[in-house]
Amino acid sequence: MDPTRIEKFKALLIAEQERLAGELASFATKDPKVRGDWDARFPAAAELAASMSHSSQDEQADLREEFETESAQEQALELRLREVEAALERISAHTFGRCRACGEEISEDRLRANPAAAYDMAHQPRE
């Protein structure tokens, strides 16, 4: 793949990396001890205390449900962020655009759809 195309994909990946980190920062905190790990923030104690004075059970249930939703979202965003960062590392290592399984070039259509793709369609792991 020519360097101009690689630079375009790099710019897309950097923009996505920044967007993902921003989304995560809006409801999660980076774990300083574990690289690439984020933790969804549980509602502040003040929110919990306020909910106890009103219809506490319903409000506490709402806060817990919101936390569970944010935890699931945090995991999905964190996974995607790791994929994007791995693609940026492959650019630095000059292996970007090659299937990690067979070494063949990944189609440009696939990379346009998912610039973080590490495998061609034939070798994409099934989840």
pLDDT at 68: 73
Residue 74 resides in a domain: yes
Range of the domain at 34: 3-113
Nearest alpha-carbon partner for 83 in 42, 40, 122, 127: 127
101 pLDDT higher than 70: yes
Is the pLDDT at 72 greater than 90, yes or no? Answer: no
75 domain residue, yes or no:
yes
Please check whether residue 118 lies inside any domain of the structure.
no
- The tokens for 125 are 């792991």
With contact defined as beta carbons under 8 Å apart, do 66 and 43 qualify? yes
Q: Across residues 68-74, what is the average pLDDT?
A: 77
Q: Is residue 60 part of a domain?
A: yes
Q: How many CB atoms lie within 10 A of CB 45?
A: 8
CATH number for the domain that contains residue 88: 1.20.120.910
Count of domains in the chain? 1
83, pLDDT greater than 60: yes
Domain-located, residue 121: no
**Res 3 pLDDT > 50:** yes
| pLDDT (0 to 100) of residue 90 | 97
Answer yes or no: is pLDDT of 43 > 90. Answer: no
What mean pLDDT do residues 88-94 have? 97
pLDDT at 45: 47
Model pLDDT, residue 82: 95
Tell me what the pLDDT averaged over the chain comes to. Answer: 85
